């Protein structure tokens, strides 16, 4: 674990996760810490799940090309967030997290365990 408390968390197989463009990852730390996992043009991106505008679920958003970069469009009011750095044209910001692929598995550098299924 590094000093920020983050560790590489395995979230599943590339071949399975790549089937969906957007999905929710449930955090062992509770809903606030859930992430949205995006897959676009062969690349995975991890971003905090809830929109920094008014809390819309970004894991149900659409992925769009916008000004030459991949963005997610929030389903609630349509604001766009850059998948790479979480930035937004009017100054909103989503936290993004590093993703790596190792031996066919997807890992996210994160502070809690993550799961594709909701905790009981």
- What part of residues 42-61 is at the interface with ligand FES (CB under 6 A)? 51, 53-56
Which of 74, 83, 96, 106 is close enough to bind ligand FES by CB under 6 A? 74
Residue 99: strand pairing partners: 108
- Could you write out the DSSP letters of every residue in the chain? --TTS-EEEEEEEHHHHTT-SEEEEEETT-GGG-EEEEEETTEEEEEESB-TTT--BGGGSEEEEETTEEEEE-TTT--EEETTT-B-TTS-B--EE-EEEETTEEEEEESS-EESS---
In the bound state with ligand FES, the residue whose beta carbon lies nearer, of 8 and 76, is 76
Closer to ligand FES by Cβ: residue 94 or 112: 94
Shortest approach of ligand FES to residue 39 CB, angstroms?
Answer: 20
Question: 31 — phi, psi (to 5°)?
Answer: -55, -40
- In the complex, the smallest distance separating the C-beta of residue 74 from ligand FES, rounded to whole angstroms, is 3
In the region spanning residues 76 to 95, those forming contacts with ligand FES, defined by CB under 6 A, are: 76-77, 79
Least distance to ligand FES from the beta carbon of 22, Å?
Answer: 14
- Residue 66 as a binder of ligand FES (CB under 6 A): the answer is no
Q: Name the site residues for ligand FES (rule: CB under 6 A).
A: 51, 53-56, 74, 76-77, 79
């Amino acid at each position: 674990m590094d000093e920020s408390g983050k560790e590489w968390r395995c979230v599943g197989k590339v071949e399975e996760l790549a089937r969906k463009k957007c999905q929710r990852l449930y955090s062992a730390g509770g809903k606030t810490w859930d992430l949205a996992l995006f897959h676009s043009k062969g690349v995975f991106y991890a971003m905090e799940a809830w929109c920094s505008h008014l809390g819309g679920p970004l894991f149900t958003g659409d992925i769009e090309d916008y000004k030459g970069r991949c963005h997610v469009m929030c389903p609630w009011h349509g604001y766009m967030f850059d998948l790479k750095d979480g930035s937004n044209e009017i100054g909103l910001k989503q936290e993004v997290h590093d993703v790596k692929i190792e031996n066919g598995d997807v890992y996210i550098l994160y502070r809690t365990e993550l799961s594709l299924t909701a905790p009981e």
